Amino acid sequence: MTTAIVLTAGAGSKIFPYNDTRQKCTIPIANVPIVKRLVSGLASAGVTKIIIVIGHLGEQVRHALRDVEGVQITYVKQRELNGTAGAVLCAVDEVGDDALGENCVIAYGDIVTTEDTLRAFIHAHREASPFASVLVQSLNDRDSRDWICASVDGERLREVIGHPRGGAYRLCGIFAIHRDAIKYIRVNPGVMTSVPVGGMPPIESELAQSIQMMLEDGREVRAVKCTDFLIDVDKPWHILEATHYVLEQMAQQLDESIIAPSAKISDSAEINAPIVLGDGCVIGNRVVINGPIWVDANTQITNGAILRGHNAFGRNCRIRDYCLVGG
């Protein structure tokens, strides 16, 4: 399984006001655009061809992926933003069924998770060879009415239902399908019909409904449980949540400082954790750093700034004058 379809066309209206000027999938998490993290993760899991479906502010997606290496990227424009199933069909109709191979991955482009999660999911689908697989996550104490949910029996998916009461698992927006499953996407009814009585789903072709149609036809759909963090960046506060988890993971992997040759550190700075400094960065007088930080090029941290916890700063930032960052 070496081909993936990544969906990045949506308008992202729930993340207002950022969506007015930013394609949601290109918002940086710890200085790396969401979609770039996802594409790099898929490449590390063995995917070599990725079809990116673009739409709203699609040029920003191209820019975010401009320097990705090791994977062949094809862009397909979704001219009518009519849902996730419609986006998948745009890709299939553009490249043809045969170009997908026997199986392919489908991923929503606003997902932040670990490379290990992507590798484990692809491995599970490859080993079991079901008609389709879906990544699911335990809701724990979250309200199931906020999610498209999954009824799971062991490793089998039994039902997909939109925003029910009392759901235990949610769909994560990562799927793997056999080539023959495309027919269920082609006959998607254009609305999520698998909803509780009284449910009022939006009029759009939801890929989850095609998964439910496979189940109703007796097809085997495997449920792969996500054991690590996975954040759908759907609303503004999800940016902070995803950044928190990513920085926690990065901190666990950072054993020693990485300092660019052109970076400068004052002798009076107090640094009590590993740091990563890009080209032209400055750590100035009386700065106190009490947690790992990642600093992109030409950022200056000066005049007594105090940094606590895990922090990432983009390019050309100025942090100064005894400001306190972190808890």
CATH of the domain at 267: 2.160.10.10
Residues whose CB is less than 8 angstroms from the CB of residue 123 and which lie 6 or more positions away in sequence, other chains included? none
pLDDT at residue 327, rounded to an integer? 66
Please report which confidence band the pLDDT of residue 201 belongs to, taking 50, 70 and 90 as the band edges. confident
Which of 228, 248, 268 is at the close of a domain? Answer: 248
What average pLDDT does this structure show over 223-233?
Answer: 97
Q: What is the pTM of this model?
A: 0.93
Residue with tokens 């849902």: 83
Share of the chain above pLDDT 90, in %: 94
pLDDT at residue 250, rounded to an integer? 96
Residues 174 and 278 placed together within one structural domain of the fold: no
State how far the alpha carbon of 79 is from the alpha carbons of 10, 22, 56, 58, 102, in Å.
11, 18, 9, 11, 27
Residues 171 and 287 placed together within one structural domain of the fold: no
Domain enclosing residue 152, as ranges: 3-248
**Residue 107 tokens, joined:** 């991923």
Q: What is the DSSP letter of 13?
A: G
Residues 170 and 287 placed together within one structural domain of the fold: no
Q: What is the DSSP letter of 190?
A: S
Packing angle between helix 84-95 and helix 207-216, nearest 10 degrees? 90
CB-side neighbour CA atoms (13 Å) of 141: 0
pLDDT at residue 199, rounded to an integer? 82
Q: What is the amino acid identity at position 113? A: T
Whether the pLDDT of residue 244 is over 80: the answer is yes
What letters, b where the CB count within 10 A reaches 16 and e where it falls short, cover 101-126? Answer: eebbbbbbbbbbbbbebbebbbebbe
pLDDT, tens only, 309-326? 999 999 999 999 999 998
Whether the pLDDT of residue 36 is over 70: the answer is yes
Residues 19 and 66 placed together within one structural domain of the fold: yes
Residues 199 and 274 placed together within one structural domain of the fold: no
Which of 218, 248, 278 is at the close of a domain? Answer: 248
Residues 105 and 230 placed together within one structural domain of the fold: yes
Residues 237 and 259 placed together within one structural domain of the fold: no
